[in-house]
Structure 1
Amino acid sequence: MSYLLNLHALAALLGMVVVLLLTRRWPHNKRILVLLFNLCFLYLFSRKLFLFSAVYVLINYAGYVWLCYAPKGKRLLFGAAIVLNVAGVSSLRLFGMNVLEHPLFDAIYLFGLIYTVLKVIDAYYFAYYIGKDGKAPLLDFVNYLLFIPTFTSGPILKFRDFMADSRKPYTVSAKDFEAGIKRIILGLFKKVVLVAGMTVVFHDVLDHDLKFYHSLFLMIWFYALIYFDFSGYSDIAIGFGRLMGYTIPENFKQPFLSPTLTQYWRNWHATLGDWFRDHIFMIFSRRFSSRGAAAGLSIVIMLGIGLWHGFSWLYLLWGLYHGIWMAMESLLQLSLVNRKKVSRSYFYFRCICTQLIVTFAVIVYSGNSDVVLRIYKGLLHF
Structure 2
Amino acid sequence: MVFSSLLFLFLFLPAVLICNFLSPWRIKNAVLLFFSLLFYAWGEPVYIVIMLLSTVTDFSFGLLLEKAGLSDRRRKAIVALSIIVNLALLSYFKYADFLIENLNAWLGTEVPLRELPLPIGISFYTFQSISYIIDVYRGTSKAQRNWLDFATFVALFPQLVAGPIVQYSSVAEQLRHRKVDSAMFAQGIRRFIKGLAKKVLLANNSGLLWHAVSGMDTGALLALTAWLGILAFAFQIYFDFSGYSDMAIGLGLMLGFRFNENFNRPYSAQSMTDFWRRWHISLGTWFRDYLYIPLGGNRRGRSIQVRNILIVWTLTGIWHGASWNFLIWGVYFGVILIFEKWVGLRLLARLPRPLRHGYALLLILIGWVFFAFDDLSAMGTFFLALSARNGLPLADTETGYLLYTNLILLVVLVLTIVVEKSRNPRTERPYLMLLYHGVLFLFSIAYLVDATFNPFLYFRF
TM-score range, shorter chain: 0.7 to 0.9
Normalised by the length of structure 1, the TM-score is 0.88
The offset of 1:16, in angstroms, is 1.2
Greater relative contact order (Cα < 8 A, sep 6+): 2
- Quote the residue 1:365 is aligned against: 371
Question: 1:298·1:323 contact (CA, 8 Å) conserved in 2?
Answer: yes
- Quote the residue 2:407 is aligned against: none
Residue in structure 2 matching 1:31, options 29, 43, 53: 29
- In our comparison, the structure showing a higher alpha carbon Rg is 2
**Structure 1 252/222 Cα, relative in aligned 2: closer, same or farther at 3 Å?**
same
Measure, in 2, the Cα distance between the counterparts of 1:199 and 1:75.
Answer: 46
**Structure 1 167/328 Cα, relative in aligned 2: closer, same or farther at 3 Å?**
same
SS at match of 1:277: helix
SS at match of 2:276: helix
SS at match of 1:4: coil
Q: List alignment gaps of at least 5 residues for structure 2.
A: 102-110, 394-461
Correspondence 1:265-284 to 2 at 5 A? 265-284=276-295
Question: 1:115·1:153 contact (CA, 8 Å) conserved in 2?
Answer: yes
- Quote the residue 1:158 is aligned against: 167
Bigger shift: 120-129 or 356-365? 356-365
Measure, in 1, the Cα distance between the counterparts of 2:203 and 2:267.
Answer: 19
Measure, in 2, the Cα distance between the counterparts of 1:84 and 1:147.
Answer: 21
Q: List alignment gaps of at least 5 residues for structure 1.
A: none
**Structure 1 335/30 Cα, relative in aligned 2: closer, same or farther at 3 Å?**
farther
- Quote the residue 1:289 is aligned against: 300
Question: 1:20·1:29 contact (CA, 8 Å) conserved in 2?
Answer: no
CA distances 1:40-62 after superposition (whole Å, capped 9, x unpaired): 33345433022222222112222
Normalised by the length of structure 2, the TM-score is 0.74
- Quote the residue 1:82 is aligned against: 83
Give the count of matched residue pairs: 371
Structure 1 position 377 matched with structure 2 position 384: yes
SS at match of 1:3: coil
Measure, in 2, the Cα distance between the counterparts of 1:168 and 1:353.
Answer: 46
The one-letter code of the counterpart of 2:190 is K
Bigger shift: 61-70 or 253-262? 61-70
Bigger shift: 363-372 or 145-154? 363-372
Question: 1:115·1:154 contact (CA, 8 Å) conserved in 2?
Answer: yes
**Structure 1 259/106 Cα, relative in aligned 2: closer, same or farther at 3 Å?**
same
CA distances 1:66-87 after superposition (whole Å, capped 9, x unpaired): 2232702111221232133223
- Quote the residue 1:20 is aligned against: 20
CA distances 1:81-120 after superposition (whole Å, capped 9, x unpaired): 21332232112123455747588x7415x21111111101
Residue in structure 2 matching 1:126, options 122, 129, 135: 135
Correspondence 1:32-51 to 2 at 5 A? 32-51=30-49
SS at match of 1:267: coil
Measure, in 1, the Cα distance between the counterparts of 2:347 and 2:251.
Answer: 34
Measure, in 2, the Cα distance between the counterparts of 1:216 and 1:286.
Answer: 37
**Structure 1 179/378 Cα, relative in aligned 2: closer, same or farther at 3 Å?**
same
Measure, in 1, the Cα distance between the counterparts of 2:19 and 2:231.
Answer: 43
Residue in structure 2 matching 1:175, options 156, 161, 183: 183
Bigger shift: 85-94 or 270-279? 85-94
Residue in structure 1 matching 2:361, options 355, 360, 363: 355
% of aligned pairs identical? Answer: 24
CA distances 1:291-345 after superposition (whole Å, capped 9, x unpaired): 33323222211111000011222111111111111111222383999xxxx79x7
- The CA RMSD over aligned residues, in Å, is 2.6
Bigger shift: 147-156 or 353-362? 353-362
The offset of 1:200, in angstroms, is 1.8
Correspondence 1:294-309 to 2 at 5 A? 294-309=305-320
**Structure 1 330/18 Cα, relative in aligned 2: closer, same or farther at 3 Å?**
same
The offset of 1:286, in angstroms, is 5.7
- Quote the residue 1:91 is aligned against: 92
Residue in structure 2 matching 1:107, options 107, 117, 136: 117
Measure, in 1, the Cα distance between the counterparts of 2:58 and 2:373.
Answer: 31
Question: 1:30·1:244 contact (CA, 8 Å) conserved in 2?
Answer: no
Residue in structure 2 matching 1:322, options 309, 330, 333: 333
Measure, in 2, the Cα distance between the counterparts of 1:302 and 1:64.
Answer: 29
Question: 1:42·1:50 contact (CA, 8 Å) conserved in 2?
Answer: yes
SS at match of 1:107: coil
Question: 2:269·2:357 contact (CA, 8 Å) conserved in 1?
Answer: yes
The one-letter code of the counterpart of 2:285 is D
Question: 1:251·1:268 contact (CA, 8 Å) conserved in 2?
Answer: yes
SS at match of 1:289: coil
Question: 2:209·2:229 contact (CA, 8 Å) conserved in 1?
Answer: no
